[in-house]
Structure 1
Amino acid sequence: MIQELKEGYGHIFEEALINEIVQVGTFKEVSEGYKLMDIGEYVRGMPLLISGAIKVLREDKDGDELLLYYLEKGDTCSMTLTCCMGDSKSEIRAIAETDTKLIMVPVQKMDEWTAKYKSWRNFIFESYHNRLNELLNTLDSIAFDKMDMRLISYLKEKARINDGNIIKNTHQEIAYDLHSSRVVISRLLKKLEQIGKIELHRNYIEILTL
């Protein structure tokens, strides 16, 4: 675990902090689709991603989901940190987008490391900054972009996260992520196929050029 942690965070954290993380952290290896956190749960630890990707979702009053952002290697979730520090329930849902390795850091260490390690403080502040920018980008997309542009951006990001041009999500799953309907998403995907941007298959979508 320590070698993987150094590869992901060695350029951020000093060795003393990495050693502490190894001592108190809990290593987890989860499969694609695994629900790491759900809305309404108390948060007792903060994730540090070693490999893979996690998608973070919000839910409206009707139970419909909206994709907020992805977490990748070297990231953490500032919303999780906020819940940890405030001993409050989670307002997000976190699901493994790919097979993922991570270390869960106990909440009791948050304040201690913030005072003890400058690198930890900088990491937390940068995480807040990055997640805020991603949330603003999501808000701008909803407010200003048409659904076809949002869908193209979504497909591009999916391909980047999965490091390939094959997307295995169903039309309904994409609709959930984009807070739309399956009928609308299917129509837009068919339109993209007709102009040669993608190719639709029985169980997956192949990106040709976006």
Structure 2
Amino acid sequence: MIQDLKENYGHIFEQDLLNEINKVAIIKEIPEGTKLMEIGDYIKSMPLLVSGVIKVLREDDNGDELLLYFLENGDTCAMTLNCCMTHTKSEIRAIAETDSKLIMVPIQNMEEWMAKYSSWRNFVLQSYNNRMNELLETLDSIAFLNMDQRLLKYLGDKARVTKSMIIRSTHQEIAYELHTSRVVVSRLLKKLENMGKIVLNRNHIKILDLGL
């Protein structure tokens, strides 16, 4: 674990903190599609993402989902931090977008390190700031972009975090995450294909040029 910590967090945390994390944390490897956190769960540990991509979603009263943001290696989840620090139930769902590896930090150590290590405190505050900016970006896209622009942004974000021009999501899955209907997504994807921006295949979407 110490090697994973040094490679992903060595530029953030001092050696003493890395050693403490190594003593109390556990490694968790989760395959693509695994639900890491569910709405209503109590959170007992905070994830530090070592590899892979985690998507974080919100659910409305009708059970429809909205994608809030992606987590990449070196990230943690502000929503998780808040639940840990306030001992409240989770209001988000977290699912592995790709095979992922996480270092799970117990909640009791998090609180101790806030006072003991300035690097940990700064990391937590910066994580809150980063996730807040991403939430505002999501809000802006809903408020100010039409659906074809939101779909373009979604495909671009997904390609960026997965580092792949192949998007392995069904039209229904994309519709869930954009909080719209499959019919709308299928129509807009076909439009993008006719414009030469993507190629639609049975099990995946190949990005050619989104022009973002």
Unpaired segments of 5 or more residues in structure 2? none
Separation in structure 2 between the aligned mates of residue 99 and residue 22 of structure 1, nearest angstrom? 22
In the other structure, the counterpart of 2:70 is 70
Equivalences, count: 210
In the other structure, the counterpart of 1:170 is 170
Partner of 2:113, secondary structure, is helix
In the other structure, the counterpart of 1:14 is 14
Separation in structure 1 between the aligned mates of residue 32 and residue 136 of structure 2, nearest angstrom? 27
In the other structure, the counterpart of 1:122 is 122
Residue type matched to 1:92 in 2?
I
Separation in structure 2 between the aligned mates of residue 18 and residue 185 of structure 1, nearest angstrom? 45
Partner of 2:203, secondary structure, is coil
Separation in structure 1 between the aligned mates of residue 58 and residue 50 of structure 2, nearest angstrom? 24
In the other structure, the counterpart of 1:190 is 190
Separation in structure 2 between the aligned mates of residue 16 and residue 160 of structure 1, nearest angstrom? 33
Q: CA deviation at 1:124?
A: 0.5
Identity %: 69
What are the superposed Cα offsets for residues 88-123 of structure 1, whole Å, 9 maximum, x if unpaired? Answer: 100000001111111110111121000000000000
Separation in structure 2 between the aligned mates of residue 208 and residue 199 of structure 1, nearest angstrom? 7
What are the superposed Cα offsets for residues 13-39 of structure 1, whole Å, 9 maximum, x if unpaired? Answer: 001001111111010011111100000
1:25-64 correspondence runs (5 A): 25-64=25-64
Q: CA deviation at 1:201?
A: 0.5
Whether 1:134 aligns to 2:150 is no
In the other structure, the counterpart of 1:79 is 79
TM-score normalised according to structure 2 size: 0.98
TM-score normalised according to structure 1 size: 0.99
Residue type matched to 1:34 in 2?
T
Q: CA RMSD in A?
A: 0.6
Residue type matched to 2:139 in 1?
L
Structure 1 runs, 4 residues or longer, greater than 2 Å off = none
